[in-house]
Amino acid sequence: MNIVLLGPPGAGKGTQSERLQKSRGLTQLSTGDMLRQEVASGSELGREAKDIMEAGRLVPDELVVRIVSERLGRGDLANGFILDGFPRTIDQARALDALLKQKGIALDGVLEIRVDDDLLTCLLYTSPSPRD
């Protein structure tokens, strides 16, 4: 099973990904984690991302798509995957569609988690800080 989880930051995508990972044996593919892993590995993609991130800029879609493409090319996704945090934009969605078609990978579903903006804002400003 291959799925995409969509939703705003704080909506619970990571939590639901973990649950699906445990219950279905899927591999969670978080773009943030993939970026950090590439940087830590010292790969060419990681060095490109590191330079951009250290300059305080957003990693461009083209580079994120290359990182996702590389990750989807590894042989450890036999049980399927959950894309968590990708795609975030229409351009990324189009790139993902083309990438999956190129690799012969089908999506089984796209799940959108919707949370009221006021609730997310309330949770953001009322959650205890890690130091509390």
Phi, psi of 108 (to 5 degrees): -95, -20
Q: Distance between CA atoms of 82 and 29, rounded to whole angstroms?
A: 6
User: Could you report the per-residue pLDDT of 22-63, keeping only the tens digit for each?
Assistant: 999 999 998 888 999 999 999 998 999 999 999 999 899 999
**Position 128 confidence tier, pLDDT thresholds 50, 70, 90:** low
Model-wide pTM > 0.75: yes
Tens-place pLDDT, residues 72-93: 988 889 899 999 889 988 999 9
